[in-house]
Amino acid sequence: MKLLNYVLKGELGIGLKLEQGVLDIKKAAKRFEEEIPNSLDEVIKSSDITGIQKIVDRAINEDLASLLVNEEEIEYLPAVSNPEKIVCVGLNYLSHIEEAKNVDVPETPVLFNKFNNALAAQNEIISLPKVGGKFDYEAELVIVIGKEIKDVDESEALSSVFGYSVGNDLSVRDLQFTSSQWLLGKSLDGFAPVGPYVVTAHSIDPTNLDIACKVNGEIRQSSNTKHMIFNCATIISYISKHMTLKPGDLIFTGTPEGVILGYPENEQEWLKPGDEIEVTIDKIGTLKNKLI
């Protein structure tokens, strides 16, 4: 299932992306007199998609066309609108470590965080801050936690996942490295776009997904999640040994090679107003944002 958060004509919607278009799940629930959570965030917290599946099956068999919305008319919201935590993993692809130069391969996941102010949605225009100037992209697979867990074993870690989404860990490199803590360069307003969809966990294998990034149509990153140093199960287990993970928490899992920081200094052309960034992950979708 490809689920999405959106607003249409001032009303919050829950959508399901189908080949025919986007199914308005709340409208379908009302039509079929079924109960449904008010938002995708609530669906994730309930960790139960059986009700949605029932509604989808009825819509497809009975009245699909009248329950579709025009995807071009909706305003996307972040795939998860109000996570308690946004945890990010740095240096999680060997190729990215090599381009970073003089960086050791980590023995455990390197963690930092973003805050909710950094969330942005599909097609959202992101304003570059007046501070800093070395603006960079990072294509990343994002884990959406679906149930509360603490100190979970790797063998059970993926059972806690509701789904996966596409993320862009936008960064301001000259702020990021002003100290040993990366926070300042990572959590500026709008610097964590996530979306457009959350694909439910049973639908895909997170260990083998093509991941790519384009800037103004030019491919900058192209890799596969199989090249992660720490896979999703390891990351979830490691984080859960240090803090309780809750439904709706987001985990950015790291970026492969191809970021601007990895270019020779004389070839580094940092992101600027007017640039459009597309992050694509196989079987999930493409996240698009423009900078101003």
DSSP state at residue 282:
T
| Domain range summary for the chain, segments of one domain joined by + | 2-76, 86-291
Question: Where residue 287 falls among pLDDT bands split at 50, 70, 90?
Answer: very high
Half-sphere exposure at residue 174, Cβ-oriented, CA atoms within 13 angstroms: 10
Instruction: Say how many CA atoms lie within 13 Å of 239 toward its Cβ.
Output: 30
Task: Please give the pLDDT value at position 160.
Answer: 97
Tokens in use for 127? 């304003």
Cβ atoms of 115 and 187 closer than 8 Å: yes
- Residue 60's pLDDT is 87
Contact indicator for 171, 199 with CB cutoff of 8 Å: no
Give 5-41 as a DSSP string.
EEEETTEEEEEEEETTEEEEHHHHHHHTT----SSHH
d(CA 48, CA 55) in angstroms, rounded, equals 13
The sign of the CA dihedral 38, 39, 41, 43 is positive
The pLDDT of residue 195: 97
User: What is residue 47's predicted lDDT score, i.e. its pLDDT?
Assistant: 79
Do the beta carbons of residue 83 and residue 250 sit within 8 Å? yes
pLDDT in tens, 101-153: 778 899 999 999 999 999 999 999 999 999 999 999 999 999 999 999 999 99
Looking at domain 86-291, its CATH class is: alpha beta
- Tens-place pLDDT, residues 172-216: 999 999 988 899 999 999 999 999 999 999 999 999 999 999 999
**Which tens digits make up the pLDDT trace of 52-87?**
999 999 998 888 999 999 999 999 999 999 999 999
- φ/ψ (deg, to 5) at 171: -140, 150
pLDDT at 170: 98
pLDDT at 5: 95
Give me Rg for the CA atoms of the chain.
Answer: 19
- Rounded-to-integer distance, Cα 270 and Cα 3, Å: 33
Across 55-69, 87-101, 270-284, the highest mean pLDDT is recorded for: 270-284
Using the predicted structure, report yes or no on whether residue 268 has a pLDDT greater than 80.
Answer: yes
Q: What percent of the chain has pLDDT over 70?
A: 100
Structure confidence by residue, pLDDT tens digits, 239-261: 999 999 999 999 999 999 999 99
Give pLDDT, residue 214: 98
- For 156, half-sphere exposure in the C-beta direction (CA atoms, 13 angstrom radius) is 8
Task: Annotate 180-237 with DSSP letters as a single string.
Answer: S--GGGT-STT-EEEEEEEEEGGG--TTS-EEEEEETTEEEEEEEGGGBSS-HHHHHH
pTM, 2 dp: 0.96
Amino acid letter for position 120: A
Report, as an integer, the average pLDDT of 256-277. Answer: 96
The average pLDDT across 214-241 equals: 98
> What pLDDT, on a 0 to 100 scale, did the predictor assign at position 144?
98
